[in-house]
Amino acid sequence: MTGPSAPRRLVIAAGHFFFRTRNLLFPLVFIPLFFVAGPDDLFRRSAAGRLLKILGVLLVVCGQAFRLLVIGYAYIKRGGKDGKVFADKLVIRGFYAHTRNPMYMGNVTILLGFCLLYQSVWSYVAVLPFFLFAYYAIVVAEETYLAARFGPEYEQYTRAVNRFIPNFHGIQKSLSEFQYDWKRALRKDYGNVTLALFAVLAIKVRENLGPSSQLTPSELPFFSLALLAVVVFYLVARILKKTGRLASPN
């Protein structure tokens, strides 16, 4: 049995790098975009641009809601161990019975929503392709690890379930064996929810920066209250987690 080809080895190596550095690297990708490449007037001042913004918000909400659903029904540890890909068991139930990477599908949906909401050409030609490759590389690295660790069991799973595109046939039956654990969903993903909410507010503020388009005085209280609400949500969720009030019953 021959090993992976040279291009695949490069993708696997990139996947391990992105997996190890994603918590720092991924947010840093957005900083140059935010400060250097603002929203483009061509998109922002057209009817199509407004529709894209609405679609962007919907995608962010749907992607985040999907993440919460996945975590609440059947959670898989994606944090790795010592900065490396790791799994102590093969999770193939819940949403994982319908797509092998539901969390990444949620992430990509959120990312696409942000790109549509931000409406900068650079978000389409640089940021989106970067993240699509990064997630693909991480998935390939994880699949290589899982195939080596779980062998035939994982190979059978890959033959039955798509890598990305969900097949929701029989989803009700798959979820019927679970009781939705909202405490786990909030405990595991309140940070991501906070980032998503903050990013939406930041994008709205960014598009109003500059001498020709600034926030009106009547809009300032709304954004101040919205930001305060996001901060309060984060603090409350963190306190509940630290005090054990979000502990799952089982």
Q: Which residues of 192-207 are buried (b: 16+ CB within 10 A; e: fewer)?
A: bbbbbbebbeebbebb
Chunked mean pLDDT (size 10), the chain, 250 residues: 82 95 87 74 69 92 96 77 84 94 95 90 89 96 95 96 94 92 95 93 74 58 89 97 88
pLDDT reported for residue 155: 96
pLDDT reported for residue 212: 46
CATH number of the domain encompassing residue 171: 1.20.120
| Domain assignment of residue 209, yes or no | no
pLDDT reported for residue 206: 75
pLDDT reported for residue 39: 67
- Domain residues for the domain of 85 are 6-179
- Beta carbons of 67 and 111 less than 8 angstroms apart: no
| Domain assignment of residue 131, yes or no | yes
Q: Which two tokens stand for residue 130?
A: 């970067």
Tally of domains within the chain: 1
| Domain assignment of residue 31, yes or no | yes
| Domain assignment of residue 197, yes or no | no
CB atoms within 10 A of CB 151: 10
| Domain assignment of residue 226, yes or no | no
pTM of the model: 0.89
**Per-residue CA distances from 219 to 90, 115, 202, 223 (Å):** 49, 23, 14, 6
Region of residue 82 (left: phi > 0; alpha: psi -120 to 50; beta: else): left
pLDDT reported for residue 211: 47
From the DSSP assignment, how many helices (H) and strands (E) are in the chain? Answer: 10, 0
Of 45, 36, 35, whose CA–CA distance to 212 is shortest?
45
| Domain assignment of residue 55, yes or no | yes
| Domain assignment of residue 83, yes or no | yes
| Domain assignment of residue 234, yes or no | no
- Beta carbons of 117 and 201 less than 8 angstroms apart: no
